[in-house]
Amino acid sequence: MKNKSGKILETAVKDMRMDIRKLSEFKAFISGKKVAVLGVGISNRPLIRYIHSLGAMITAFDVLDAEDPVLKKTIDDFEAEGVRLKWCCGKDYLDKLPGQGFEIIFRTPRLRPDIPEIMMAVREGAVLTSEMEVFLSLCPARTFAVTGSDGKTTTTTLISLFLKAAGHDVYVGGNIGTPLLNQIDKIKETDCVVLELSSFQLMTMKTPIDNAVITNISPNHLDFHKNYEEYIRAKTNIFKAQPFWGRLIINADNPITRVFGSKARGQVAYFSWNKQTKLPGDSALLINDHAYVEDGAIWISSRGQEKKMVCTGDILVPGKHNIENFMTAALAVFPFVRPEHVSSVARSFAGVEHRIELVATIKGIRYFNSSIDSSPNRTIHTMEALADRGEHGVLIAGGQDKKCDYSGLGRAIQKVCDRIVLCGDNKDMIRKSVEEECAVDSFRMEEASDYREALRMATEMAKPGEIIILSPAGTSYDFFRHFEERGKRFKELVNELSVET
């Protein structure tokens, strides 16, 4: 049962939008509080620095051992900066979370909120929150938040670029890798904040978001979520607390997202490849705007008017999925930018790092890094984009499985690659998809123990004029801390190969 102090704190955090909306009130609120920060990763390191400067008494918890090189450097950096913390590290790092009288717990996104140690500490009176939830509660600017199973990062990036092209001051963060709470002091009401939000971040989200975007939903992260239903519920938290003047942008072509309009509190806008597509039970009174593709262009229908936003031929990045990303992003910013802003970005945007990224051309072979492809569905999109460009070559695939559906993966791979080097925990699942869906006699599949060996084998298989593409179809956690580290390692190995040759 919660003590009196815990009830007061819980009420304060649940109603932050009202009670500590002003930054000065938050600073007074956090000062002197006994705070636990669970996970000392990309988002929580700036959080620690910021709330430490406000007088919070912090204990940092991390699964890594204190002597791990990465964590040791973090500990040393904090010490050098004068950020004094208590530490609980190693395999049983959460054992000391209950019974310590913590008043506030900041959860890292990849840690479930219902694990026993956290639930016990909450029952003792602690309030569970996150860096992103507090940031959104305090943010004075107009917010745009993007979630979905695929296309989140590119869509988030495009929204920010469209807004910048229109002259807005823009902050970009969230799951895209940049925490923002430590920048809250300089964000103004006239600015725009664009966020990528994962299902992990959204599990406990109850904070209003002005413009919520859901790109699509398909089975994903089922190694983390209890089931597909929980994953879907987490995604819907992006719009459940919206005010009635907020906007929800959804994919009408996706069977899961197309029904969300009936659950929205705010205005609904939707995008579809077909101009005639309608949402279930839609009404002119409920639908704000509708984006679609017709006659080689992305159009938006709004209040009976049709406006051409950009010609699809002007979009530099390849693939049908990227046309959809442009359509989504253009619809999200439609009230705030003009078509010329979208077109200027389309002609200059070359893509996001680790997404079909050209690393080098060596002896006529082009090496591409698509480390972001952490699910079979992402790899399918990558293969389709490469097939549209007439590419052919060798695939390096394999990563940690997320209990995803691998159907269609083999057929997609066959469009581009007839040679595959498998390297990762889910290699047998990828092999099975290829064997079941393709003429195996036309394939050559080999296995490698690490990326250096995989790259060597792929290079021996490839011919001048072909490509070698890293598209793992699994997460990076079998060998790496995150997909960025995986992609950078691949690029390092390619660049070493360039030097050798």
The per-residue pLDDT for range 147-175, each reduced to its tens digit, is: 999 999 999 999 999 999 999 999 999 98
User: What pLDDT does residue 353 have?
Assistant: 84
Least confident of 336-340, 440-444, 449-453, 456-460: 440-444
Architecture of the domain defined by 138-348: 3-Layer(aba) Sandwich (3.40)
* Digit-coded pLDDT (tens) for 254-303: 999 999 998 998 899 999 999 998 888 765 445 679 999 999 999 999 98
Q: Which CATH number fits domain 4-129: 3.40.190.10, 1.10.287.110, 1.10.260.40, 3.40.50.720?
A: 3.40.50.720
Closest listed residue to residue 458, CA positions, set 497, 410, 414, 415: 497
Residue partners of 127: CB distance under 8 A and separation at least 6: 6, 9, 10, 12, 13, 103, 104, 105
DSSP letter at 171 equals E
* Digit-coded pLDDT (tens) for 385-395: 899 889 999 99
Residue with tokens 């999925």: 321
Name the amino acid, one letter, at 442: S
Mean pLDDT of 365-388: 93
* Digit-coded pLDDT (tens) for 333-345: 998 999 999 999 9
Percent of the chain with pLDDT over 90: 76
User: Is the model's pLDDT at 43 over the cut of 80?
Assistant: no
Task: Collapse the DSSP code of 470 into the 3-class scheme (helix H, G, I; strand E, B; otherwise coil) and give the result.
Answer: strand
Residue partners of 128: CB distance under 8 A and separation at least 6: 105, 107, 113, 118, 122, 204
Task: Collapse the DSSP code of 47 into the 3-class scheme (helix H, G, I; strand E, B; otherwise coil) and give the result.
Answer: helix
DSSP letter at 84 equals -
Q: In whole angstroms, give the CA distance from residue 343 to residue 311.
A: 8
154-175: b (≥16 Cβ within 10 Å) or e: bbbbbbbbbbbbbebebbbbbb
Residue partners of 348: CB distance under 8 A and separation at least 6: 316
SS (H, E, C) 260-312: HHHHCCCEEEEECCCCCCCCCCCCCCCEEEEEEEECCEEEEEECCEEEEEEEH
* Digit-coded pLDDT (tens) for 99-143: 999 999 999 998 999 999 999 999 999 999 999 999 999 999 999
Name the amino acid, one letter, at 99: G
Q: In whole angstroms, give the CA distance from residue 184 to residue 196.
A: 17
Cα angle 478, 317, 497; round to 5: 50
Closest listed residue to residue 282, CA positions, set 250, 242, 321: 250
pLDDT band with cut points at 50, 70 and 90 for residue 16: very low
233-269: b (≥16 Cβ within 10 Å) or e: ebbbbbbbbbeeebbbbbbbebebbbebbeebebbbb
Per domain, the residue ranges of the chain are 4-129, 138-348, 357-500
3-state helix, strand, coil in the chain (%, to 5): 40, 20, 40
Spatial contact of 424 and 479, defined as CB atoms under 8 Å apart: yes
Q: Given the DSSP bridges, would you call strands 34-38 and 57-62 parallel, antiparallel or unpaired?
A: parallel
Residue partners of 196: CB distance under 8 A and separation at least 6: 145, 146, 147, 152, 153, 156, 173, 174, 175, 176
Q: Is the fold of 138-348 the same as that of 357-500?
A: no
Q: In whole angstroms, give the CA distance from residue 225 to residue 203.
A: 10
Q: In whole angstroms, give the CA distance from residue 368 to residue 353.
A: 11
CATH number of 357-500: 3.90.190.20
Least confident of 57-61, 348-352, 426-430: 348-352
Cα angle 465, 469, 472; round to 5: 165
Closest listed residue to residue 178, CA positions, set 151, 162, 197: 197
